[in-house]
Amino acid sequence: GAVVSQHPSRVICKSGTSVKIECRSLDFQATTMFWYRQFPKQSLMLMATSNEGSKATYEQGVEKDKFLINHASLTLSTLTVTSAHPEDSSFYICSSSGGAETQYFGPGTRLLVL
Amino acid sequence: AQKVTQAQTEISVVEKEDVTLDCVYETRDTTYYLFWYKQPPSGELVFLIRRNSFDEQNEISGRYSWNFQKSTSSFNFTITASQVVDSAVYFCALSSGANNLFFGTGTRLTVIP
Protein backbone atom coordinates (compact mmCIF):
# COMPACT_ATOMS: atom_id res chain seq x y z
CA GLY A 1 0.00 0.00 0.00
CA ALA A 2 0.84 3.66 -0.10
CA VAL A 3 3.34 5.11 2.35
CA VAL A 4 2.48 8.18 4.36
CA SER A 5 4.81 9.83 6.84
CA GLN A 6 4.21 12.39 9.56
CA HIS A 7 6.49 14.71 11.43
CA PRO A 8 6.94 15.18 14.30
CA SER A 9 5.81 11.98 15.93
CA ARG A 10 5.50 13.67 19.29
CA VAL A 11 5.44 17.28 20.37
CA ILE A 12 5.07 19.04 23.71
CA CYS A 13 4.37 22.75 23.68
CA LYS A 14 3.28 25.53 25.98
CA SER A 15 -0.23 26.86 25.93
CA GLY A 16 -0.61 29.69 23.44
CA THR A 17 2.02 28.54 21.01
CA SER A 18 1.45 27.19 17.51
CA VAL A 19 2.42 23.74 16.32
CA LYS A 20 2.88 22.58 12.75
CA ILE A 21 2.44 18.95 11.77
CA GLU A 22 3.60 17.70 8.38
CA CYS A 23 2.07 14.87 6.41
CA ARG A 24 3.91 13.52 3.38
CA SER A 25 3.00 10.95 0.79
CA LEU A 26 6.22 9.15 -0.06
CA ASP A 27 5.40 7.03 -3.06
CA PHE A 28 2.38 8.58 -4.74
CA GLN A 29 0.83 11.91 -5.61
CA ALA A 30 -1.78 12.87 -3.08
CA THR A 31 -4.25 15.37 -4.43
CA THR A 32 -6.35 14.77 -1.36
CA MET A 33 -5.25 14.19 2.20
CA PHE A 34 -7.33 13.79 5.32
CA TRP A 35 -6.68 14.96 8.85
CA TYR A 36 -8.14 13.09 11.80
CA ARG A 37 -8.04 13.60 15.53
CA GLN A 38 -8.24 10.84 18.08
CA PHE A 39 -8.72 11.39 21.80
CA PRO A 40 -7.60 8.65 24.22
CA LYS A 41 -9.61 5.48 23.90
CA GLN A 42 -11.87 7.01 21.29
CA SER A 43 -12.34 6.58 17.60
CA LEU A 44 -10.94 8.71 14.83
CA MET A 45 -12.84 11.81 13.92
CA LEU A 46 -12.33 13.47 10.56
CA MET A 47 -11.31 17.08 11.00
CA ALA A 48 -10.82 18.22 7.43
CA THR A 49 -10.13 17.20 3.88
CA SER A 50 -7.07 18.83 2.40
CA ASN A 51 -7.06 19.46 -1.34
CA GLU A 52 -3.91 20.33 -3.24
CA GLY A 53 -4.00 23.87 -4.51
CA SER A 54 -7.31 24.80 -2.92
CA LYS A 55 -8.87 25.47 0.44
CA ALA A 56 -9.45 22.64 2.84
CA THR A 57 -12.93 21.42 3.65
CA TYR A 58 -13.59 21.35 7.37
CA GLU A 59 -16.02 19.13 9.20
CA GLN A 60 -18.75 20.64 11.29
CA GLY A 61 -17.49 21.91 14.60
CA VAL A 62 -13.84 22.18 13.54
CA GLU A 63 -12.52 25.75 13.67
CA LYS A 64 -10.75 26.53 10.42
CA ASP A 65 -8.95 29.50 11.94
CA LYS A 66 -7.54 27.36 14.70
CA PHE A 67 -6.56 24.37 12.59
CA LEU A 68 -4.86 25.79 9.54
CA ILE A 69 -4.32 23.39 6.69
CA ASN A 70 -2.01 23.99 3.77
CA HIS A 71 -1.66 21.59 0.87
CA ALA A 72 0.78 23.34 -1.40
CA SER A 73 2.17 20.33 -3.21
CA LEU A 74 1.10 16.86 -4.25
CA THR A 75 3.21 15.28 -1.55
CA LEU A 76 2.83 17.56 1.45
CA SER A 77 -0.02 18.75 3.61
CA THR A 78 0.50 20.63 6.86
CA LEU A 79 -1.77 21.12 9.84
CA THR A 80 -1.01 24.04 12.13
CA VAL A 81 -2.67 24.16 15.51
CA THR A 82 -2.69 27.85 16.33
CA SER A 83 -2.66 29.17 19.89
CA ALA A 84 -2.80 25.65 21.24
CA HIS A 85 -4.51 24.96 24.53
CA PRO A 86 -4.51 21.87 26.75
CA GLU A 87 -7.82 20.72 25.29
CA ASP A 88 -6.09 20.46 21.90
CA SER A 89 -3.89 17.69 23.28
CA SER A 90 -4.67 14.70 21.15
CA PHE A 91 -3.37 12.25 18.57
CA TYR A 92 -3.44 13.76 15.09
CA ILE A 93 -3.21 11.44 12.14
CA CYS A 94 -3.29 12.06 8.44
CA SER A 95 -4.17 9.82 5.55
CA SER A 96 -4.32 9.74 1.81
CA SER A 97 -5.92 7.52 -0.74
CA GLY A 98 -3.93 8.45 -3.80
CA GLY A 99 -7.25 8.60 -5.62
CA ALA A 100 -8.14 5.00 -4.83
CA GLU A 101 -10.72 3.69 -2.40
CA THR A 102 -8.35 2.80 0.42
CA GLN A 103 -6.97 5.40 2.80
CA TYR A 104 -3.47 4.81 4.08
CA PHE A 105 -2.52 6.45 7.32
CA GLY A 106 0.56 8.12 8.62
CA PRO A 107 2.05 7.09 11.96
CA GLY A 108 0.37 9.96 13.79
CA THR A 109 1.52 12.86 15.93
CA ARG A 110 0.93 13.00 19.66
CA LEU A 111 0.43 16.58 20.78
CA LEU A 112 0.61 17.55 24.44
CA VAL A 113 -0.13 21.13 25.33
CA LEU A 114 0.96 22.16 28.81
CA ALA B 1 -26.59 8.57 7.05
CA GLN B 2 -23.67 6.25 7.46
CA LYS B 3 -22.89 4.49 10.70
CA VAL B 4 -20.58 1.76 11.91
CA THR B 5 -21.23 -0.10 15.14
CA GLN B 6 -18.67 -2.18 16.95
CA ALA B 7 -20.57 -3.38 19.98
CA GLN B 8 -17.60 -5.06 21.61
CA THR B 9 -15.58 -2.43 23.42
CA GLU B 10 -12.98 -4.78 24.83
CA ILE B 11 -12.22 -8.46 24.37
CA SER B 12 -9.66 -10.59 26.14
CA VAL B 13 -8.65 -14.02 24.96
CA VAL B 14 -5.96 -16.46 25.86
CA GLU B 15 -3.26 -17.04 23.29
CA LYS B 16 -4.16 -19.58 20.59
CA GLU B 17 -7.88 -19.03 21.01
CA ASP B 18 -9.95 -17.86 18.08
CA VAL B 19 -11.72 -14.52 18.37
CA THR B 20 -14.34 -12.76 16.24
CA LEU B 21 -14.73 -9.01 16.16
CA ASP B 22 -18.17 -7.83 15.14
CA CYS B 23 -19.00 -4.95 12.85
CA VAL B 24 -22.45 -3.81 11.78
CA TYR B 25 -22.92 -0.96 9.37
CA GLU B 26 -25.68 1.29 8.05
CA THR B 27 -25.71 3.05 4.72
CA ARG B 28 -28.16 4.07 2.03
CA ASP B 29 -25.55 3.89 -0.69
CA THR B 30 -25.67 0.96 -3.09
CA THR B 31 -21.95 1.19 -3.69
CA TYR B 32 -19.75 1.32 -0.64
CA TYR B 33 -16.55 -0.05 0.83
CA LEU B 34 -15.86 -1.70 4.14
CA PHE B 35 -12.51 -1.73 5.86
CA TRP B 36 -10.72 -3.12 8.85
CA TYR B 37 -7.74 -1.33 10.35
CA LYS B 38 -5.48 -2.39 13.20
CA GLN B 39 -4.10 0.18 15.63
CA PRO B 40 -1.30 -1.25 17.79
CA PRO B 41 -0.08 0.63 20.89
CA SER B 42 2.29 2.67 18.71
CA GLY B 43 -0.78 4.40 17.28
CA GLU B 44 -0.27 3.83 13.59
CA LEU B 45 -3.31 2.60 11.69
CA VAL B 46 -2.51 -0.50 9.67
CA PHE B 47 -4.76 -1.32 6.74
CA LEU B 48 -5.97 -4.93 6.85
CA ILE B 49 -8.67 -5.33 4.23
CA ARG B 50 -11.08 -3.56 1.92
CA ARG B 51 -14.25 -5.12 0.61
CA ASN B 52 -16.64 -3.50 -1.85
CA SER B 53 -20.39 -3.87 -1.61
CA PHE B 54 -20.64 -6.05 -4.70
CA ASP B 55 -18.26 -8.68 -3.47
CA GLU B 56 -19.68 -10.84 -0.72
CA GLN B 57 -17.06 -13.50 -0.95
CA ASN B 58 -15.42 -14.21 2.33
CA GLU B 59 -11.70 -13.73 2.46
CA ILE B 60 -8.92 -15.47 4.29
CA SER B 61 -5.43 -14.16 4.78
CA GLY B 62 -3.29 -16.32 6.98
CA ARG B 63 -4.85 -16.34 10.43
CA TYR B 64 -7.27 -13.57 9.47
CA SER B 65 -10.65 -14.10 7.86
CA TRP B 66 -13.56 -11.83 7.11
CA ASN B 67 -17.25 -12.63 6.78
CA PHE B 68 -19.25 -10.09 4.78
CA GLN B 69 -23.03 -10.53 4.86
CA LYS B 70 -25.13 -7.84 3.20
CA SER B 71 -28.33 -9.44 4.48
CA THR B 72 -27.37 -8.57 8.04
CA SER B 73 -25.16 -5.56 7.18
CA SER B 74 -22.26 -7.16 8.94
CA PHE B 75 -18.57 -7.43 8.21
CA ASN B 76 -17.05 -9.56 10.96
CA PHE B 77 -13.38 -10.25 11.45
CA THR B 78 -12.00 -13.49 12.88
CA ILE B 79 -8.50 -14.10 14.10
CA THR B 80 -7.60 -17.77 14.36
CA ALA B 81 -5.06 -19.01 16.87
CA SER B 82 -4.55 -15.56 18.33
CA GLN B 83 -1.10 -14.35 19.29
CA VAL B 84 0.10 -11.71 21.71
CA VAL B 85 1.12 -9.53 18.74
CA ASP B 86 -2.54 -9.38 17.76
CA SER B 87 -3.22 -7.22 20.81
CA ALA B 88 -4.42 -3.89 19.44
CA VAL B 89 -7.49 -1.80 18.80
CA TYR B 90 -9.31 -2.87 15.67
CA PHE B 91 -11.47 -0.44 13.74
CA CYS B 92 -14.13 -1.25 11.22
CA ALA B 93 -14.85 1.56 8.75
CA LEU B 94 -17.24 2.40 5.95
CA SER B 95 -16.82 4.59 2.91
CA SER B 96 -18.83 5.44 -0.18
CA GLY B 97 -15.68 6.41 -2.03
CA ALA B 98 -12.27 7.86 -1.45
CA ASN B 99 -13.64 10.40 0.99
CA ASN B 100 -15.78 10.25 4.10
CA LEU B 101 -14.35 7.26 5.89
CA PHE B 102 -16.62 6.54 8.86
CA PHE B 103 -15.05 4.65 11.71
CA GLY B 104 -16.61 2.48 14.35
CA THR B 105 -15.65 3.06 17.95
CA GLY B 106 -13.13 0.25 17.86
CA THR B 107 -12.64 -3.00 19.72
CA ARG B 108 -9.66 -3.35 22.02
CA LEU B 109 -8.32 -6.89 21.80
CA THR B 110 -6.00 -8.20 24.46
CA VAL B 111 -4.35 -11.56 23.91
CA ILE B 112 -3.09 -13.02 27.14
CA PRO B 113 -0.01 -15.23 26.92
pLDDT, tens digit, 9 for 90 and up, residues A53-112: 888 999 999 999 999 999 888 889 999 999 999 999 999 999 987 766 788 899 999 999
Confidence (pLDDT) at A53: 83
B50 touches chain A (CB under 8 A): yes
More confident residue, B2 or B111: B111
B49 touches chain A (CB under 8 A): no
Predicted confidence (pLDDT) at residue B99 exceeds the cutoff of 80: no
Predicted confidence (pLDDT) at residue B98 exceeds the cutoff of 80: no
Confidence (pLDDT) at B13: 98
Of B69, B66, B73, the residue nearest B28 (C-alpha): B73
What share of chain B has pLDDT > 90, as a percent? Answer: 85
The model's pLDDT over A33-42, given as tens digits with 9 standing for 90+, comes to 999 999 988 9
Kindly determine whether residue A103 and residue B101, on different chains, have CB atoms separated by under 8 Å.
yes
Among the partner-chain residues B50, B99, B103, the one whose CB lies closest to the CB of A44 is: B103
Predicted confidence (pLDDT) at residue B70 exceeds the cutoff of 70: yes
More confident residue, B26 or B99: B26
Kindly determine whether residue A105 and residue B42, on different chains, have CB atoms separated by under 8 Å.
no
Predicted confidence (pLDDT) at residue B95 exceeds the cutoff of 80: yes
Kindly determine whether residue B103 and residue A43, on different chains, have CB atoms separated by under 8 Å.
yes
Confidence (pLDDT) at B75: 97
CA B104 to chain centre: 9
| Whole-number average pLDDT of chain B | 93
Predicted confidence (pLDDT) at residue B108 exceeds the cutoff of 70: yes
Kindly determine whether residue A108 and residue B50, on different chains, have CB atoms separated by under 8 Å.
no
What share of chain B has pLDDT > 70, as a percent? Answer: 97
Instruction: Work out the end-to-end distance of chain B between its first and last CA atoms, rounded to an integer number of angstroms.
Output: 41
Rounded CA separation A87/A17 (Å): 13
State the nearest Cα–Cα gap between A17 and chain B, in angstroms: 25
State the nearest Cα–Cα gap between A34 and chain B, in angstroms: 8
Rounded CA separation B33/A30 (Å): 20
Kindly determine whether residue B47 and residue A107, on different chains, have CB atoms separated by under 8 Å.
no
Chain A positions touching B101 (Cβ under 8 A) are 34, 46, 95, 103
- Strands A10-13 and A109-113 come out as parallel
More confident residue, B74 or A28: B74
Chain B positions touching A95 (Cβ under 8 A) are 45, 101
Minimum mean pLDDT range among A27-31, B72-76, B86-90: A27-31
Predicted confidence (pLDDT) at residue B100 exceeds the cutoff of 80: no
The model's pLDDT over B29-61, given as tens digits with 9 standing for 90+, comes to 999 999 999 999 989 999 999 999 998 888 899
Predicted confidence (pLDDT) at residue B8 exceeds the cutoff of 80: yes
Kindly determine whether residue A107 and residue B44, on different chains, have CB atoms separated by under 8 Å.
yes
Predicted confidence (pLDDT) at residue B18 exceeds the cutoff of 90: yes
Rounded CA separation B102/B2 (Å): 7
What part of B 76-105 touches A (C-beta under 8 Å)? 91, 95, 97-101, 103-105
